[in-house]
Every structure is written in C-alpha cells, then in structure tokens.
C-alpha cells in the first residue's frame, strides 16, 4: 500500500500519532488504514454485549442469572432453566453526542486554537429476536434456541466545524469541517443448545454465524478566512464485509442462595474485504483502492458472573469480563500481522487487556396477578486501545434504571441507560499535508462522548400443551420426548 494511500486514510480516520502533546511530532504514518477508520471514525465499541432490557436494567450483570429468552447472548447454559417455549423481541434507541473541546493545532505557525465543536445523532432498530423451545429427553431438561443479534452497530452521522484562532484570540484565520457518515452492522445468527445436567449444573453451547457489512464516507475541508481561494478538501468512501463462525460455551452453577455463571467466547478467524475511493482538489498521488481480501483474528473473551438471592424478592448480580484486544490482528497483504486498532506491529500495539465490570439489582413487587420488577445497575467498560499521542483510553462509565411487568405468559421490560467517557485525544485536521513524506500529526484536545440508550423487550411464552407447543416439539425434538 502506497504512502499516499496510508496518509489519506489516516486523515479520513481523524487519528494522529506521535510521542507527546507539547508540540507537533513528525512520525511515520501507519502502513494500513482499516483499523483506524473502524476504531476511531466509526466510533464503534467492540465489546460485545448481551441483549435484553431486563439485563440492561441490571447494568448488564446477567451471566449468573440468564433465566429468560435473551440468556444465550449472556450465557447459553441459562436456557436450560426455561420450561415453556418463548419468543422474544428486543428494540433499542440510542442518542449519542461527541464533543471536542480545547483543541490546539500545531500545523500552522503560530499554532491555532480551535473552537469547540459537537454534534448529536441517533440510531435505532431491532437488537435481538429469538425463538426458544424447552423439552425433556432422557430424563433431562433441554432447550434449543434460534436467534439473531446485532452485535456491533456502525451507524454514525456527524459533522464537526472548527474555527482556527490565533493563540491570543486576536484573529480568526481558518475554518475546518469534518463530516462522517457510516451505516451497517455486524450480526450474529445463532443456534444454541442447553442441558440441565443436574439440579445444580447447567451446560450450554452456541454456534454463531457472523455477517458484517457497512459503508463509510468521510469529507474533510479546510479554508482560510477572507481568502478568495477555494477550500482544500478530501473525501473518502469505503465498503467493508466480514464473515465468520465461532462457538460460545456456557456453565451455570446453582446453589441455595447464589449462582455462578461462566461464558467463554472462542476466538475466530474472520474473512473480510474492503475497497475505497477518494476525491480531492489536491494534487495527490492517490487512486482508487482495489478490493482487498484478508483474514481478521478476533480474540476470545471470558465472562464470569455471581448472583446473590438476598430474599424472595431481591436479587443482586456482579459480572466481570476480559478481552485481550492486542490479539485482534489482521494481515494487510504483506504477511505481517498488524494490530487492528492502531495499525502497529504485534508487540508494539497500544491495544491491551480490557476488563469490564457490571453490578446490578432487581426487586420484585406483586400487584394482583402481575409481577412488577424494578432494576438498577452501574458499569465500566474501557475501549480496546489507547490514543497514540496522549496514551489515554476512553472508558465508558454508566448507570441504568429499568422496570417491567410479568402477567401470565407476557413479559414486557423497559430500560434507560446513560454513559459518559472522556479523554485527551489526538486528531489530524490539515489535508494539505496528505501527500508529504513526513506527516505532521498536529492537533490534540479533549473528546467527550455521551450516550443515552432506551431498550424495550417483549417476551411471549407459549402455554404448555397448546397446539403450537406440540407442533414445535414434534418439528424440533420428535415424538415421545417427555422422557
């Protein structure tokens, strides 16, 4: 891949590299661009979360609970607790805001102080759908489930406008516009099987078929105030595709007053491809990027949870998750494994182990024939990698509150969560340096991210002995499956 292409795509990703924040650094640009664009420009979090409003209301601490139709997304072993067929649907709506403050650009002499800029956008859609069939075979409780979950949502649409002022504020010299649009997702279609081995021990396995497709567009322009010259602009588009398969393994141990849950998601090798095009009024030695087919290694992850039944009505749960993101690598075509998030060679990447913590609680109220649960939770989730200049990492910290109602065979839940993250980060705003031998990655300041998420779940149970229940049993299990 040419130096010009690498430079252009670093700019499209808005990421810079260097060794300090006191002055601009001259560095060698990354060899390949894909990870930068995904990790920074798309603003996607790669921590794979489970689905469901009930679990979200407890801060996502559900690995040792996992007792409804969304269980497979947290711990497939939990499906063996179900006794009736269930159909579930989960919908989510997110309001997101990115805010850049206190940025200084060293790309000019003297340095420019950039005005603050922010934008908000929203995204929504179905997050999870499933159909679960419990049955008995060989004297044991089993359950099988078919589901689809949107694992990563790449939807993003924001425009940031900065004005460059002299450091003393005496004059406004330049304006900088950076816009980014992206659409698409990574989904997992899953077949899960769970078995109640004993009253205490439950086991589960989930086969996941991953399918990702997304498109990205970036437009960046810089113009001088009171200048007759047209703005300098650079635009970039990219189309990407990912496919893979893997297994999740689950264990649930049930004791009188507490439970322990474990979910291990095996690593996998994904096939993915991408291609790109550029447009600019700069005399750049850049042409269309031909389609590239390669392999991506996605690391394994481990989740361990503990739940405490404090009373017949009160449940507490704690989850811990671990993923070693430095193992997320790909081969850009030169037979050298490269870190996905910062494009450094294996052993040099700033990506590392991310440990997320979640704690939540649920309390039940009884109103006539209905059960009304209320929930609350808090959580902490770090990003996979650190900024290459400031060495800081964005860490999502948030809380959630939720409630629901369970009446006969219908359960409905609603949760609202709020998260914030901030860090000093580096950004590259000046397109005039794209085709130079030594790039000046020259802007840094503070990035603040806020997110409000509303999740709604609906679970319908199919009564035992109903015609639909009998038909499903014969189709998926066969006759004579009661023992």
The b-or-e profile of 366-399 (16+ CB within 10 A means b, else e) is eeeeeeebebbbbbebbbbbbbbbbebbbbbebe
Are 119 and 169 a contacting pair, CB within 8 Å?
A: no
Strands 410-427 and 443-461: antiparallel
Predicted pLDDT at 53:
95
Tell whether 318 is covered by a domain.
yes
Tell whether 231 is covered by a domain.
yes
Alpha-carbon distance of 329 to 340, in angstroms, equals 5
Low-confidence stretches of the chain (pLDDT beneath 70) = 1-47, 107-108, 167-170, 284-289, 332-335, 428-442, 465, 468-483
Alpha-carbon distance of 128 to 337, in angstroms, equals 34
Predicted pLDDT at 303:
97
Residues spanned by the domain of 401? 3-476
Predicted pLDDT at 29:
38
Tell whether 127 is covered by a domain.
yes
Tell whether 326 is covered by a domain.
yes
One-character DSSP codes across 141-204: EEEEEEEEEEEEE--EEEEEEEEEEETTSS-EEEEEEEEEEEEEEEEEEEEEEEEE-SSSEEEE
69: CATH: 2.40.160.60
Tell whether 481 is covered by a domain.
no
- Per-residue pLDDT of 337-372, as tens digits, reads 777 777 777 777 888 889 999 999 999 999 999 999
Q: 206 CB contacts (<8 Å, ≥6 apart)?
A: 72, 76, 190, 191, 192, 193, 247, 248, 250
Predicted pLDDT at 39:
39
Alpha-carbon distance of 284 to 127, in angstroms, equals 42
Alpha-carbon distance of 434 to 192, in angstroms, equals 49
Predicted pLDDT at 92:
96
Tell whether 466 is covered by a domain.
yes
- Per-residue pLDDT of 175-231, as tens digits, reads 888 888 889 999 999 999 999 999 999 999 999 999 999 888 888 888 888 778 788
Cα-to-chain-centroid distance, residue 14: 19
Tell whether 482 is covered by a domain.
no
Tell whether 87 is covered by a domain.
yes
Total domains in the fold of the chain? 1
Predicted pLDDT at 85:
94
């Amino acid at each position: 891949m040419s130096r010009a292409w690498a430079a252009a795509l670093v700019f499209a990703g808005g990421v810079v590299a260097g060794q300090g924040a006191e002055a601009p650094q001259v560095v060698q640009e990354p060899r390949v661009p894909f990870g930068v664009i995904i990790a920074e420009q798309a603003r996607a979090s790669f921590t794979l979360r489970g689905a469901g409003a009930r679990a979200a209301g407890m801060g996502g601490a559900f690995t040792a609970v996992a007792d409804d139709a969304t269980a497979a997304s947290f711990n497939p072993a939990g499906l063996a607790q179900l006794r009736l067929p269930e159909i579930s649907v989960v919908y989510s709506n997110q309001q997101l805001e990115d805010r850049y403050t206190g940025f200084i650009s060293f790309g000019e002499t003297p340095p420019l102080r950039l005005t603050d800029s922010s934008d908000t956008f929203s995204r929504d859609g179905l997050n999870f759908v499933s159909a679960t069939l419990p049955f008995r075979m060989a004297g044991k409780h089993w359950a099988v489930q078919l589901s689809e979950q949107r694992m990563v949502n790449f939807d993003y649409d924001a425009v940031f406008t900065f004005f460059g002022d002299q450091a003393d504020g005496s004059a406004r010299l330049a304006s900088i516009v950076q816009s980014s649009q992206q659409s698409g997702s990574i989904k997992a279609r899953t077949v899960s099987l769970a078995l109640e081995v004993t009253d205490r021990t439950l086991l589960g396995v989930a086969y996941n078929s991953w399918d990702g497709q997304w498109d990205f567009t970036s437009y960046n322009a810089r113009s001088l105030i009171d200048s007759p010259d047209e703005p300098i602009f650079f635009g970039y588009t990219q189309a990407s595709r990912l496919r893979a398969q893997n297994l999740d393994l689950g264990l649930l141990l049930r004791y009188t007053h507490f439970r322990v849950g474990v979910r291990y998601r095996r690593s996998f090798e994904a096939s993915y491809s991408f291609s790109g095009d550029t447009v600019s009024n700069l005399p750049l030695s850049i042409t269309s990027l031909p389609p590239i087919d390669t392999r991506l290694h996605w690391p394994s992850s481990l989740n361990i949870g503990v739940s405490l039944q404090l009373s017949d009505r009160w449940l507490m749960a704690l989850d811990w998750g671990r993923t070693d993101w430095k193992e997320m690598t790909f081969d850009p075509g030169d037979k050298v494994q490269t870190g996905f998030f910062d494009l450094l060679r294996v052993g040099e990447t700033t990506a590392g182990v991310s440990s997320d913590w979640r704690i939540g609680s649920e309390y039940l109220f009884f109103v006539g024939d209905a059960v009304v649960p209320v929930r609350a939770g808090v959580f902490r989730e770090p990003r996979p990698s650190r900024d290459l200049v400031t060495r800081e990492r964005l860490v999502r910290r948030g809380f959630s509150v939720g409630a629901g109602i369970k009446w006969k065979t219908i359960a409905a839940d609603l949760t609202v969560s709020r998260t914030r993250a901030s860090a000093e980060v580096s950004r590259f705003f000046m397109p005039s340096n794209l085709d130079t031998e030594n790039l000046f990655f020259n802007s840094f300041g503070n990035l603040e991210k806020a997110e409000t998420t509303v999740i709604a779940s609906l679970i319908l149970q199919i009564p035992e002995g109903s015609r639909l229940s009998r038909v499903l049993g014969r189709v998926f299990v066969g006759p004579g499956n009661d023992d």
